[in-house]
Amino acid sequence: MADLQETQTWTPGIYQIETNDPVVGGPPDLAQGEGISNVQALQLASRTAWLKLQIAELSQSVADIDFGPQIQAKFDELVDSAPGALNTLNELAVALQSNDSEIAALVSQIAAMQNSVNNIDVTAQINAAINNIVDGAPAALNTLRELALALQGNDSDIAALVSQISGVQTTYNNLVAGAPANLNTLAELASAIQAQQQRKPTYTVLAEYPTRKYDGTITLSQPMTNFDSLIWDAVHYNLGATHHRYWEFPRALTPQGHKIYLGSSSWAAHWIYTSATTLTLESEYYSRINRVIGVKY
């Protein structure tokens, strides 16, 4: 009696004995139609031998792997720099047992916090927030949908309102165009005017002529540009030295070359600004200059 000559191969399929196959023993050779009864057994035995070889090779490969570094790495990851006295499960268990009261207190605090969270009336807070948004709006306009529908139904009115607002904005822009940034609102203007009204002016005599000046040139002791305005003290010499008249001209109205008029229907004088510190008489009629005073507000 002989054994089948198995090989370490994996056959893709197992032969099915057909009804017309002769039941013949002996060495199997499917191509030659010999030993048909032993073909299946040889195929299965060869598969088994192949599987045995694979298991042996895998076992050898696993035996050759050094799992020590990998195990140590996972252990180190688990310990994660824990103190030496708390880096084993036994040490942790002992430490936890010795702190039962603290752990119980912590658990109690967590339970109390959970209870507080559970007792919060979220619905009431949500309703309060919604009521703040609605804020007494009419029942027909207290949802976003109702507002959207109302706005859609008034497109023309809204367009007209937007146009009016745009016109107001244009008017405002034209009104404040060129105004300083700190003086382009009514409040800022009112504050500036109030501050100006509360300021007390200072007076400086720039020229004084006890015998009354009526010809030639008037020389100021300081440039007129140092002041906000100039006050002119003139006398009608036909009516005596006590008959004074005063005129105040803002400096902005008295540039170089500008002519000023002092007087009335019965007496007068014309002076021309020739520089920031000098004025020249152009003509006079019973008029004499007593003083020129600089005013700073």
259 close to 282: Cβ distance less than 8 angstroms: yes
Q: Is 252 left (phi over 0), alpha (psi -120 to 50) or beta?
A: alpha
- What does the pLDDT look like over 188-233, one tens digit per residue? 888 877 776 676 788 999 888 776 666 678 888 998 888 888 887 8
Give a yes or no: residue 135 inside a domain.
no
Q: Which two tokens stand for residue 175?
A: 């009104």
Give the whole-angstrom CA distance, residue 14 versus residue 3. Answer: 19
Give a yes or no: residue 253 inside a domain.
yes
Q: Which two tokens stand for residue 213?
A: 């000046």
Give the whole-angstrom CA distance, residue 126 versus residue 122. Answer: 6
Give a yes or no: residue 136 inside a domain.
no
Amino acid found at 29: D
DSSP 80: T
Q: Which of 261, 162, 270, 165 is nearest to 215 (CA)?
A: 270
Whole-number pLDDT of residue 66: 82
Q: Print the domain residue range for 10.
A: 1-83
Give a yes or no: residue 106 inside a domain.
no
Whole-number pLDDT of residue 130: 80
**Among 50, 83, 116, residue at a domain's last position:** 83
Give a yes or no: residue 70 inside a domain.
yes
Give a yes or no: residue 122 inside a domain.
no
**Among 83, 109, 126, residue at a domain's last position:** 83
Whole-number pLDDT of residue 45: 93
- What does the pLDDT look like over 234-255, one tens digit per residue? 776 665 555 667 767 776 555 6
**Among 52, 83, 114, residue at a domain's last position:** 83
Give a yes or no: residue 176 inside a domain.
no
Whole-number pLDDT of residue 44: 94
Give a yes or no: residue 113 inside a domain.
no
Whole-number pLDDT of residue 50: 94
Computed on alpha carbons and rounded to an integer, the radius of gyration of the chain in Å comes to 57
Q: Tokens 């004995």 belong to which residue?
A: 17
228 close to 235: Cβ distance less than 8 angstroms: no
Q: Which two tokens stand for residue 48?
A: 């088994």
With H, G, I as helix, E, B as strand and everything else as coil, classify residue 86. helix
Whichever domain contains 287, its CATH number is 2.60.320.30
247 close to 232: Cβ distance less than 8 angstroms: yes
Q: Can you give the pLDDT of all 297 residues of the chain as single tens digits?
A: 788 989 999 989 999 989 898 888 899 988 888 899 999 999 999 999 999 999 999 999 888 888 788 888 887 777 777 787 777 777 777 777 777 787 888 888 888 888 877 777 777 878 888 877 877 788 887 887 877 777 777 777 777 777 888 877 887 777 767 777 777 777 888 887 777 667 678 899 988 877 666 667 888 899 888 888 888 787 766 655 556 677 677 765 556 666 666 666 566 777 777 788 887 877 766 667 778 888 887
Give the whole-angstrom CA distance, residue 50 versus residue 6. Answer: 10
Beta bridge partners, 280, equal: 217, 272
CA distances from 63 to 66, 73, 200 (A): 8, 20, 105
Provide the domain count of the chain.
Answer: 2
The strand pair at 217-219 and 259-263 is best described as: unpaired
Give the whole-angstrom CA distance, residue 46 versus residue 10. Answer: 7
Largest CA distance in the chain: 171
Give the whole-angstrom CA distance, residue 207 versus residue 277. Answer: 10
Question: Global pTM?
Answer: 0.33
Give the whole-angstrom CA distance, residue 174 versus residue 197. Answer: 27
